[in-house]
Amino acid sequence: MTSSIPSSLEPVLKSRYPHRPRVLFVLRRRPGASPEAFEQALGDWRRRWEFGVAPGTIIARAGVAIAEMQDDLDKQFQASGAEVTAIDGYVSLDLEIFDPTPADFETLFKAAAGCLEPLIDVVDLAESVTLAGVANLTIPGFAPTSMILILDRVPELSVEQYNEWWVRHGDDHRRANPAQVGYHQLHIAPEFNALVADSTGTAVTGQCVIDIMYLGHTRDGFPAAADPSSGDARVLADDIGAHVSFASVKGSFIREI
């Protein structure tokens, strides 16, 4: 039962950008399941859900990793010394409501409970991860290609402190990435992660930084290189480094299905 909304989500619930409840499952393909069977099952799963934009509608999305782009993604993080762990795919559920109450989260979590059962032949649930909270639609758009990145905050910050900074950082991201069709920040609450993971047989993670970027082209996933000696570039790099940890990075370019 969702009797209250965790305080870690208060910053995003005050965001000036549209925001709504979301559950995202980062999926690990079951050994022995072919990529083709995995993609087919995720497509079938998504098509079971009604599509709409009326208030209260559950919106389902799904995607599979673009394996041939993983090396390009890895290279983008080499300067920070990070190694990127690929993901196999994802499915997600949003509740189309922009001022959510505890009852709205309860509605979404009831929809999510057991929702992965149709995928058990192709998905290793125990190795898949639940991320539940509020999606901040800093750039609200959607496109057939996306990039999902999962990182963490620096240990000196609480989840709530990080989320407060992250909402403000959305403006910097918009300016630095003008070609992106969409940019969604998924602000999680550990309590919600545990609740949904328990009802779906999936795992949880301590990582709390989930970036979802929708792209007209994979090259739009990263901004054009700025002059690193410029004052603005140094300020932005220092600001990110003071809040985001690159000790563990997961992510892939995704083909939406």
For residue 178, being part of any structural domain is answered with yes
pTM score of the predicted model: 0.92
**pLDDT-based confidence at 116, cuts 50/70/90?**
very high
For residue 171, being part of any structural domain is answered with yes
Share of the chain above pLDDT 90, in %: 74
Q: What is the pLDDT of residue 251?
A: 97
pLDDT digits (tens, 9 = 90+) for 73-85: 999 888 778 889 9
Report the CATH number that the domain containing residue 23 is assigned in CATH: 3.30.70.100
Q: In total, how many domains does the chain have?
A: 1
For residue 230, being part of any structural domain is answered with yes
For residue 77, being part of any structural domain is answered with yes
Q: Coil, strand, or helix at residue 132?
A: strand
- Flag whether pLDDT at 151 surpasses 70: yes
* Ramachandran assignment for 45, one of left (phi > 0), alpha (psi -120 to 50 degrees), beta (any other): alpha
Per the structure, the complete domain to which residue 180 belongs is given by 7-256
For residue 211, being part of any structural domain is answered with yes
pLDDT digits (tens, 9 = 90+) for 161-187: 999 999 988 888 888 788 899 999 999
Structure tokens at 111: 């929809």
For residue 49, being part of any structural domain is answered with yes
Nearest to 87 by CA among 32, 127, 117: 127
For residue 1, being part of any structural domain is answered with no
For residue 2, being part of any structural domain is answered with no
| Full DSSP string of the chain | ---S--GGGHHHHT-SS-EEEEEEEEE-BPTT--HHHHHHHHHHHHHTSPP--STT-EEEEEEEE-GGGHHHHHHHTGGGT--EEP--EEEEEEE--SS--HHHHHHHHHHHTTTTGGGTTTB-GGG-EEEEEEEEEEEE---SEEEEEEEEE-TTS-HHHHHHHHHHHHHHHHHH-TT-SEEEEEEE-HHHHHHHHHHHT-B--S--EEEEEEESSGGGGSPPPP-TTSHHHHHHHHHHHTTEEEEEEEEEEEEE-
CB atoms within 10 A of CB 164: 19
Instruction: Identify the H or E element spanning 174.
Output: helix 159-176
